[in-house]
Every structure is written in C-alpha cells, then in structure tokens.
C-alpha cells in the first residue's frame, strides 16, 4: 500500500490524560472521589507536564511530525480572575520545542476537562458560561497564537454530554436527557463563537493559514435484526448522538431539539472535518448491542474499519472540506492486534476517494483513559506508571516504519501484520 502524496500521519493526545499533577479540575475532583474503575488518580498519568521534552524527543525519534495536543484550562486559569503566567509560558515553551523538532502542532482548547470554578457556575449547562471559555481561548491566543495555525475548539462534545449528563458515568454525574441536549446546544454555540473569535484574532494580527474545527466523535450505526423498530431506534440514536450536532456545528443549522438561543446565523463554521472514529453501535431489541460474531477490542468495542469511511462519506456530504482523522485507535492491552487494526483502518482510508489528508493515531503513550484510568492501554508506546519509563511497542515500531515508507510494503506487512488476529 502506498499513500497519496499529501497524506500525513501523526499521533494525538489530551492534556488531562498525560500531564499528571494537581490542578483544580473536574477530573481531579472526580478521581479524588475514587470514581475511577482501577482506583488510579489522574494526578499521576504520564507526568508529561515535567517530561514533555523527553516525550517530544521520542516522538521525533519515531519520525512523527504531526501532533494534535490539548492544554489544561484549570492550570492556565486556576480561578476566574487569575491566569497563571507560568502555565502559559510552559505551553509556549512546549510548542516551541515541537517546532524545534519539526513537529507540526494542532492545538485543542477543550478536551473534557475544565476548572472547578467553571463547574460551580454550571459549566456547559448554561449558555451564559460560554463567555468564560472565550476569555480563556483569547488569552491563549495572545500568548501562543503566533505559533499555531490549526485549532480544535472542543473535543467530542457528544461524548462529554452523554457520559457526564445522560449516563452519569463521568463528572458531573448527571442523568438527564433534557440537560444532555442543553449541553450539546451550549457546546455547539461555544464552538461557533470560538471559531469566529479565533479567526478574528488571528486575522487582526495578520496571521494567515488559520484553520479551525471541532473533533466530532462519530460512529457507524447498524441494526442486528430486520426489526422495523430497531431500525428506527438506531436512526434516532444516530440523529441525537451525532447528526444534529453535525448540522449545528458545521453549518449553524440548529434543528429540534437543539437550540441556538437566537444567536447564530447559518454559515460555515469548520475549515476541515475532524473525525474521531473508534467503533460501530448496533441496535438489537431496542438497545445498544453487537453484531453477531464481531471482533472486539479489550474494552469490548467492535472493531469495524469500514465504518470509518461510512461516517467520513456522510460528513463530507454535509460539507465539502478536507478531512482529518483526528483520532483512531484501540484498547489492546498487550499490543497483540494493534498492527492489524492500524493496517485495516489505513487501508480503507487509502482506498477511499475522499480528501482524507491526515490520520492521527490515538494515542502516542498509554495514558489515563478517563473512567477506566490506567487500566486501558491505547498507546504506541508503553508506559510503566510506577517508574514513568516509556518503551516503544511493536506497534510503535510499525508506525515509524509506515511513516518512513509513506505506506506499507509487502515485507512490512509480513513482518508486522500478517500473524496478528483480532479476538471476539
């Protein structure tokens, strides 16, 4: 397999999952309540806040040149009226280090974590709170907006809304459908405002090439029966989980039940489609289930590469702009099938005629997997949490080889992929 000329590969991360340290965020609060399945605490993670230079060197050593990462709002703005200049300088230095190593940064402003003072104001349940997010964005642009051209405003608004406000398995542990829908509306509005703000600030400073989007977690939805009811339920889930947000956040089209609070004109609010794709959801007997005999990863998620192209086609039909796969990866605790997973997903991407320009693997180093804590490993690099020693996995070597070859040669396939198999 040979990739198209302009195709770029990289790795993705999120501050809370790697940095470690004590900040007053919703995730520090949540793990302090001993809510994490394996009783780990986000305070440890990868200690990347201190070890970032070493980690970036490792990335460069592996040939990785593209990197979406996020910054920690609670660290930068520990209280409503206080921006921490050390933290801002830290992130500026970190981005400079990336540039020094020829690593192209994409900056994410919000990836599931925020300061507790924001939580106490009602966080994303109130449209009046969007202003706090915009102030944070503007401050960061002041300090390092000259160094970064590409931005993700918000990562996976639907995942945060559903886990935190519908299933109640993430902070703030709410279980309310109406609140979930409200949070989605507020996120969509916040994205649009941030999209406009980032462009305005960068234009005023005469920076060109600004590109802004949000990372959309999208799934393929199917049914495991011919039941008419199941089909209807699947399309209802799909519409509420992702399609309504697509229209709102790509185009400013807020359809019921989302609400734009009279504040948005229809237009174009993304410069590229950012897709986070992991799995397919199958409806059976009116609830979430699985396809018969499907392959699963170590968290029990179906492995279904073709779904990536189905969702990419759908999103591209809504808006014809370039596509970046901003996250794709799998929980494979013993690194036994990650190479096959990588191969199968890259193969469907490469065979597609869609303008898919980038692929970012989730993730670089095993990290703090939210409610699963340290127990779920997604990394190309192994982390020993006790010693913080990083070791490149077999899949990490494979990924370096893919980047080097700009494709996957037959020998590379034989060596890394051929003998790997998924499990059911």
CB of 325 to ligand BGC, least distance (A): 12
CB of 335 to ligand BGC, least distance (A): 16
Distances (CA, A) of 104 to 101, 213, 397: 9, 16, 20
CB of 214 to ligand BGC, least distance (A): 12
CB of 256 to ligand BGC, least distance (A): 26
Interface size with ligand BGC, residues (CB under 6 A): 11
CB of 409 to ligand BGC, least distance (A): 29
Residue whose CB is less far from ligand BGC, 282 or 328: 328
Cis ω for the linkage preceding 363 (within 30 of 0): yes
CB of 278 to ligand BGC, least distance (A): 6
Considering only 60, 134, 138, 159, the residue that binds ligand BGC (CB under 6 A) is: 159
Q: Which residue has the tokens 């503007």?
A: 138
Q: Which residue has the tokens 């974590």?
A: 113
Considering only 182, 191, 211, 217, the residue that binds ligand BGC (CB under 6 A) is: 217
Round to whole Å and give the CA distance between 226 and 224: 7
Residue whose CB is less far from ligand BGC, 250 or 277: 277
Task: Determine if 295 is a binding residue for ligand BGC (CB under 6 A).
Answer: no
Residue whose CB is less far from ligand BGC, 247 or 276: 276
The contact mask relative to ligand BGC for 255-274 (x = CB under 6 A, - = no) is --------------------
Show Cβ contacts of residue 382 under 8 Å, excluding neighbours closer than 6 positions.
Answer: 335, 365, 366, 390, 391, 392, 393
Considering only 185, 213, 276, 383, the residue that binds ligand BGC (CB under 6 A) is: 276
CB of 225 to ligand BGC, least distance (A): 27
Binding positions for ligand BGC, 362-381, rule CB under 6 A: 362, 369, 378
* Strand, coil or helix: 47: coil
User: Torsion angle of alpha carbons 100, 362, 258, 354, nearest 10°?
Assistant: 90
Task: Give the interface segment with ligand BGC, choosing from 47-55, 154-162, 221-229, 341-349 (CB under 6 A).
Answer: 154-162
Round to whole Å and give the CA distance between 243 and 417: 35
Point out which residues pair with 215 in neighbouring strands. Answer: 155, 274
Counting beta carbons within 10 angstroms of the beta carbon of residue 110, is it exposed (0 to 12), middle (13 to 18) or buried (19 or more)?
buried
Residue whose CB is less far from ligand BGC, 271 or 327: 327
Task: Give the interface segment with ligand BGC, choosing from 152-160, 262-270, 353-361, 391-399 (CB under 6 A).
Answer: 152-160
CB of 285 to ligand BGC, least distance (A): 26
Considering only 327, 332, 335, 374, the residue that binds ligand BGC (CB under 6 A) is: 327
Beta strand extents in 113-210 (DSSP E only): 150-155
Counting beta carbons within 10 angstroms of the beta carbon of residue 321, is it exposed (0 to 12), middle (13 to 18) or buried (19 or more)?
middle
CB of 108 to ligand BGC, least distance (A): 9
Round to whole Å and give the CA distance between 37 and 27: 14
Round to whole Å and give the CA distance between 32 and 40: 9
Point out which residues pair with 221 in neighbouring strands. Answer: 281
Task: Determine if 156 is a binding residue for ligand BGC (CB under 6 A).
Answer: yes
Cis ω for the linkage preceding 172 (within 30 of 0): yes
Considering only 11, 14, 222, 245, the residue that binds ligand BGC (CB under 6 A) is: 14
Residue whose CB is less far from ligand BGC, 155 or 420: 155
CB of 328 to ligand BGC, least distance (A): 9
Distances (CA, A) of 253 to 259, 263, 274, 405: 10, 11, 18, 42
Task: Determine if 243 is a binding residue for ligand BGC (CB under 6 A).
Answer: no
Task: Give the interface segment with ligand BGC, choosing from 153-161, 228-236, 258-266, 409-417 (CB under 6 A).
Answer: 153-161
Q: Which segments of 205-337 does DSSP mark as H helices, in order?
A: 228-238, 244-251, 306-318
Residue ranges in contact with ligand BGC by CB under 6 A: 14, 17, 155-156, 159, 217, 276, 327, 362, 369, 378
């Amino acid at each position: 397999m040979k990739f198209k000329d302009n195709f770029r590969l990289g790795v993705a991360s999120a501050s809370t999952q790697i940095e470690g340290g004590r900040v007053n965020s919703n995730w520090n609060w949540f793990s302090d309540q001993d809510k994490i399945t394996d009783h780990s605490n986000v305070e440890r993670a990868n200690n990347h806040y201190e070890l970032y230079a070493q980690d970036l060197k490792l990335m460069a050593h592996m040939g990785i040149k593209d990197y979406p990462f996020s910054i920690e709002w609670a660290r930068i703005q520990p209280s409503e009226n206080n921006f921490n200049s050390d933290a801002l300088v830290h992130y500026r230095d970190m981005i400079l280090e990336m540039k020094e190593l020829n690593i192209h940064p994409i900056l994410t402003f919000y990836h599931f974590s925020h300061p507790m003072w924001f939580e106490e104001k009602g966080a994303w349940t109130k449209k009046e709170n969007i202003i706090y997010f915009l102030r944070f964005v503007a401050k960061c642009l002041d300090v390092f907006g000259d160094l970064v051209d590409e931005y993700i405003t918000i990562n996976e608004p639907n995942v945060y809304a559903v886990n935190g406000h519908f299933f109640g398995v993430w902070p703030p542990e709410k279980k309310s459908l109406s609140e979930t829908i409200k949070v989605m509306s507020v996120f969509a509005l916040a994205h649009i405002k941030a999209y406009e703000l980032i462009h305005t600030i960068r234009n005023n400073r005469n920076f060109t090439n600004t590109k802004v989007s949000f990372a959309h977690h999208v799934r393929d939805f199917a049914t495991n029966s011919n039941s008419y009811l199941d089909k209807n339920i699947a399309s209802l889930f799909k519409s509420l989980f992702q399609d309504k947000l697509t229209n709102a956040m790509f185009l400013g089209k807020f359809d019921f039940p989302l609400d734009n609070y009279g504040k948005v004109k229809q237009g174009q609010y993304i410069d590229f489609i950012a897709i986070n794709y992991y799995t397919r959801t199958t409806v059976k007997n009116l609830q979430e289930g699985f396809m018969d005999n499907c392959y699963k990863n170590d968290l029990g998620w179906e492995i279904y590469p073709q779904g990536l192209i189905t969702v990419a086609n759908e999103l591209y039909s809504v808006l014809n702009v370039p596509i970046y796969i901003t996250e794709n990866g799998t929980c494979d605790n013993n690194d036994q099938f990650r190479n096959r997973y990588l191969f199968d997903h890259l193969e469907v991407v490469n065979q597609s005629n869609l303008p898919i320009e980038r692929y970012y693997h989730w993730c670089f180093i095993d990290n703090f997997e939210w409610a699963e804590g340290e127990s779920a490993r997604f990394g190309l690099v192994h982390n020993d949490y006790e010693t913080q020693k990083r070791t490149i996995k077999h899949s990490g070597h494979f990924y370096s080889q893919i980047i080097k070859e700009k494709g996957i040669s037959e020998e590379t396939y034989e060596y890394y992929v051929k003998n790997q198999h998924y499990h059911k």
